[in-house]
Every structure is written in structure tokens, then in C-alpha cells.
Amino acid sequence: MSVRAGREFLAIPGPTTMPDEVLRAMHRPAVDIYSGPLLALTDSLLRDVARVFNTKGRSYIYIANGHGAWEATLTNVLSKGDKILVLESGRFAIGWGENARRMGVEVEVLKGDMRRAVRPEEVEARLKADKAGNGSSTFKAVLVAQIDTASGVVNDIAAIGQAIRAAGHDALLMVDAVASLGCMPFDMDAWGVDVAMSGSQKGLMTPPGLGFVAANDRAREVHKKAGLRTPYWDWTDREGDLHYQKYAGTPPEHLLFGLRQALDMLFEEGLENVFRRHQLLAEAVRRAVGVWSEGQAIGFNIIEPEERCDSVTTVLMDSGHNPEALRAYCHQKCGVVLGHGIGDLSGKAFRVAHMGHVNAPTVLGTLSVIEVGLGALGVPHGKGGAQAAIDWLAEQVAA
């Protein structure tokens, strides 16, 4: 027997649930790629992608997933043999750095771990030592993820930018905002971020397939001498007047229609409200996990409460219990798809996404289903996790 009939709910951290409005916006015939409406659409999207990154710099839209956007950032500012510093706080900055290494870049990882945020003071110390080492700075760039989707950590990008300045270092600050853009503030110019990247399929509620990059003037200056530039990713080519050049070929029309609708919805709600909604729902999830963890079998991956992010919560299960059995139960019996643990947390954790097109019913429903699953599988847990989430929202969301 199951209670899963009806629409399934996807609680994985990307791709996320797409609003019906976004799906409908894509359900239309293709249009001429050389005439007015599509050119105006591109102009509006380039402007609004820069707006969500909060930058006066340039933005670029690629037909690519996050890995593609990573490659776009690296090829445009680095040369073979350059050295970069990767800040570890989970899996994704490491993956980005690994791609750089395969492109001939020398990569040093500032050791962190899966359970905590990057420590800005360690960044400052490493960069100071780098400068002192040979007179001029050797690291060309510092790579960090704002939110790491594997660990569920949020890094303080403003503080990391400050640490780079405090060290007097001129490395470019490059930030992965794949799991954070549209879910929490991103203040590219104020934080001193030189290059930022993201993708369409998480907070931006659009199908996977669009990669976004934003670059400030400093990065575009460095770009002029970058040796890894290739025709598809090249910023200079995409800055040309020809519309066709902006995508290095045929534009991904339907994804652009979807993105336009998604951005309109975010702006209509108001980005501040969008971020507050994410905060409230994330805290509802944390309240539930906090209660469940009283049973000693499950707990938060990220140790410090203030380092837990607002778009995904990674929940560890002790070795006597199988997170995959819980995921299977929630999916097969109740129609909720949870994220699995990845990287070092494979088989040891599950993840609850609360990013993008989420609201009280979807998050409270997901939490209730997890609680049903914990009960059905006999996983020891504190009772009343979903109730704690309900109490939190009742307290916070005024009548």
C-alpha cells in the first residue's frame, strides 16, 4: 500500500520544481532568431541576470549546466601554468578546481572539511604568506562556493572578500553561486567578487541548461591576456553586437522564455521577500531536524548553526540506519523525492532541499513525510519535528 498518488514532490537540491507559469512560458513555437522580440528578450535577460548577481559588471548566458559555467569562468581569466587557491567547504569548489587542474592550472586547496564553512582568517593568512613568498603574488584567483550543496554550508563571501583585501592580494575572487542565487542575497560588487557563476535549475526555477557568468571590469581586464580562451566561452566574442554571437550560435529560445518568466516571478515577489521566504522555510526544516536529532540516530551535517545554509539541509544518519531506505520509503510510499548524500557523505546522509519554488505546504509536507518514514522504518527520533516547524512558521508569519 502507498499514499503517493497525485503529483510527486521533488525535494532534491536541483533541478528544482518549476512553476507552472515557467512551464507554460516555454510551451510555444520557435521564433525567428534574428528579429526584434528575441533580441529584446536577450537584452532584458542580460540586464536582469546582472541584477540578480547585484553587479554593474557584464553578464553572459551560456547553453550549459554549472560545469559549463565553471569552464566559462576559468577559460576567460586563466592561462596554463597559473596558480589558484581553492577554498574547501564541501565538494563543489573542489570540483571546480579539479576542472581547472585538468586544464593545466596549478591548484592548491586550502584545507577545510565537509562539516564547516571556510574560515576567512585562514584565507587571509595563506594569501599573506603567498605575497611574502616571492615578492609578487602568485595566486591568480581564489575559488569558493557560496553554498555547498553537498555539505549544506553557507560561506561568508563578504568576509572572504575582506580577507583578500586585508592580505593586500590581487587574486581574483571567483564565486560559485549555483545553489544560492535567487535563494539568498548575492552582493557581487559590494563584496568585491570579480567573477561569479550560477545555473538555471535551482533558485532560478528554470530547466537545467543555462549557465550564467558575471564579471567585473577587473576580471575583464585580466581576460584580455588569458591564455585558456576558447571560441565558445569567450567573453569578447559574446560582447559583440551580433545577437547570434551572444550565444556563440543559435539561442536556447525556450529556456530563455522560461527564464524570463521565472525572473519576472522573482521580481514580482520582490527579491527581499524571496530571500526571507527561503530563510523562514529553511529554519522550519532546521527546527524539525533539531527535534528529530534528539533520538541520537540523525543530526545536522554542518556543526555550527549559523553556518547552515538556507537552500538545502544535509542530514547525517548514524551507521546503524540507511538513508537510502528512508529515501526509498518517502519516494515509493509517499511521493516525495529527497536528495541523497554525495561525495564523502554518500550512503551516510540525505538532503532536504528548500530552494526555488517552495512554500509552506511543500516544505511542511516534505517534513511530515520524512517523519512518517522515520516512524515506519523504526529510526529513533525525537517526536514532533514537523510540529516544531509548524510552530516556527505560526510564530513568524503574522496573521
Ligand X SMILES: Cc1ncc(COP(=O)(O)O)c(C=O)c1O
199 binding ligand X? (CB under 6 A)? yes
State the distance between the two ends of the chain, measured CA to CA, in whole angstroms.
Answer: 38
Site string for ligand X, 4-23 (x = CB under 6 A): ----------x---------
Per CB under 6 A, which region of 123-131, 145-153, 186-194, 380-388 contacts ligand X? 145-153
Q: How far is CA 301 from CA 116, 149, 344, in A?
A: 9, 12, 12
Among 145, 219, 334, 363, binds ligand X (CB under 6 A): 145
Which segments within 177-309 are labelled E, that is strand? Answer: 195-199, 210-215, 298-300
Cβ closest to ligand X, residue 281 vs residue 353: 353
Task: Quote the CA–CA distance of 367 and 371 in Å, as a whole number.
Answer: 6
Task: Quote the CA–CA distance of 206 and 25 in Å, as a whole number.
Answer: 11
* DSSP strand pairing (298-300 vs 83-87): unpaired
Count the residues of the shown chain that bind ligand X, applying the rule CB under 6 A.
13
Site string for ligand X, 84-103 (x = CB under 6 A): --------x-----------
Cβ closest to ligand X, residue 90 vs residue 385: 90
Per CB under 6 A, which region of 24-32, 60-68, 241-249, 272-280 contacts ligand X? 60-68
Which segments within 181-276 are labelled E, that is strand? Answer: 195-199, 210-215
Grid cell, residue 138, equals: 602568485
178 binding ligand X? (CB under 6 A)? yes
209 binding ligand X? (CB under 6 A)? no
Radius of gyration of the chain (CA): 22
Cβ closest to ligand X, residue 68 vs residue 385: 68
Grid cell, residue 131, equals: 605575497
Cβ closest to ligand X, residue 196 vs residue 266: 196
Per CB under 6 A, which region of 34-42, 152-160, 173-181, 213-221 contacts ligand X? 173-181
Smallest separation, CB 67 to ligand X (Å):
4
The DSSP secondary-structure symbol of 325 reads H
Task: Quote the CA–CA distance of 104 and 95 in Å, as a whole number.
Answer: 15
Site string for ligand X, 17-56 (x = CB under 6 A): ----------------------------------------
340 binding ligand X? (CB under 6 A)? no
Q: Which residues of 275-312 are buried (b: 16+ CB within 10 A; e: fewer)?
A: bebbebbbbbbbbbbbbbbeeebbbbbbeeeebbbbbb
Grid cell, residue 309, equals: 545554509
179 binding ligand X? (CB under 6 A)? yes
Indicate the residue whose CB is closest to ligand X. Answer: 66
Q: Site residues for ligand X, window 271-290 (CB under 6 A)? A: none
Per CB under 6 A, which region of 3-11, 61-69, 129-137, 220-228 contacts ligand X? 61-69
Among 176, 234, 283, 371, binds ligand X (CB under 6 A): 176
Smallest separation, CB 191 to ligand X (Å):
17
Cα angle, residue 104 at apex, residues 102 and 109 outer, rounded to 5°: 70
Among 18, 61, 66, 139, binds ligand X (CB under 6 A): 66
Among 75, 149, 155, 261, binds ligand X (CB under 6 A): 149
**In which residue are the cell numbers 543555462 written?**
210
CB 124 within 8 A of CB 109: no
Q: Is 330 helix (H, G, I), strand (E, B) or coil?
A: helix
Cα angle, residue 177 at apex, residues 221 and 244 outer, rounded to 5°: 60
Cβ closest to ligand X, residue 91 vs residue 229: 91
Residues that bind ligand X in the complex, under the rule CB under 6 A: 14, 65-67, 92, 145, 148-149, 176, 178-179, 199, 208
